[in-house]
Amino acid sequence: MLKPCLMVDARRGGLAVWSAMVLLGLHACLIDAVAAQNAGLGNASQGANPSAVGGFGVNQNMVTQFRGKLKGFQRGVVLVQKEDGTDVMVQMPESISSFQFVALAKPAFLQRGQLVRLSGTFNPANGMAVTPINKVELFQPVTGKLAGGTREQFIPGIYPEKRGENPQAFAEPIRCRVVGGVMGLNANGLLAVQAGGRPLQIPLAQDATFEIRYNNLSLAQEGDEVSVSGFYQPPDETRIRAERITITTDRVYGEFSEDPPKRNSRRRPTREAVAEEKEAADEAKISDPDQPQGDKKNSKAEDPPENAG
C-alpha cells in the first residue's frame, strides 16, 4: 500500500528531507508491489498453465517440421502421412513460391514455349552467355498477384543480380538472371530463349542439370517424399498451416524407355490363314463324337438306301 509509505513528518526536516523521504517511500512500495505480483515466478510446477508463467498459451501456434509421403490433395489441402504413420492435413502456404514439386529432367523433356529460369554472365551487345550454364530450372506459369522478388521468378525478362542496373547500359558482361520461353535446343547444346522480348543464345555445359520446379501437383504421385515446415495449434497436431511445402521424387522426366510400347496390330488375316483356320475347325467337329450331326443336306456323304439292288 502506498499510503503508509507517505506518512512523513515535515516538521523534523526541511523540504529537501521531506522530498527525499517521499521518493524512498515510493521506491520501496513499488518493489513490494512487483515482488508480490511475481511471487513464485520460476518455481511453477510442470503441470502449471504455461500462459500463467509467461510461456505459450493453449491457443498459441507451435512450430513444426516433418517429412512424410504424399497421400492426396483436396481443396487447397495436401494430405501427408508422416514417418511415424500419422496422417495430417497440411494447408497450402500463402506464397505460391513456397510450394514446389522438384524433380530432375533430361533435355528431351524440353518443349518449345516451356518456361525456364537460369543465371549467368551475359554480353549485353549480343545477348550471348559468356560461360556455359550449368543449371536450368523449368517452371510453369502461376496465377494470382506477384510482387517483388516473386515477380522476377515468373515473369519473362532479364534481371541483373544487382538491383537497379540496366543490362543495356553496360558494354561489359553483367551477371543476370534470365526468365523466358524455350525457342529451341540444338545438338551442340545451344539453348535459345526468348526473355521478355529479347532473344538469347545460351550455351549449356556438357553436364548441365535440368531441374523441374513446378508450383503445382501436375507431376506429383502418391508416395512422393514431402517436407513440411509450418504451425499448428495444440493439442491437435494433425492440422498444419504450412509455411513451406516441398515434394520430391526420384523419377527423371524425359528419359527414353528401353522397352518400346507395344502396338496392337490391326492387319487383316490372309486368305490362306482363314482357310487353314476353317479346315482346322471342320476337323475338330468330325473328330468330336459328341458333336451333333447335321441334316443330310449339309452332310458330306449321304447314307446308301437300304434296298439298293
Provide the grid cell at 217. Answer: 501437383
For residue 108, name the pLDDT band (cuts at 50, 70, 90).
very high
What's the confidence (pLDDT) of residue 227? 98
Q: Is the Cβ–Cβ distance between 114 and 188 less than 8 Å?
A: no
Range from 9-18, 225-234, 270-279, 282-291 carrying the lowest mean pLDDT: 9-18
Query: What does the pLDDT look like over 52-92, one tens digit per residue?
Result: 323 334 467 899 999 999 999 988 899 999 999 999 999 99
pLDDT digits (tens, 9 = 90+) for 248-274: 999 999 987 545 544 444 445 556 665
Confidence category of residue 143, pLDDT binned at 50, 70, 90: confident
- Cβ atoms 137, 214 nearer than 8 A: no
Question: Picking from 80-89, 135-144, 273-282, which range would have the lowest pLDDT averaged per residue?
Answer: 273-282
Residue 174 amino acid letter: I
Q: How many CB atoms lie within 10 A of CB 150?
A: 16
List the grid coordinates of 228: 513440411
Q: Which of 16-30, 101-115, 146-160, 207-221 has the lowest mean pLDDT?
A: 16-30
pTM reported for the whole predicted model: 0.62
173-196 pLDDT, tens digit each = 889 999 999 999 999 999 999 998
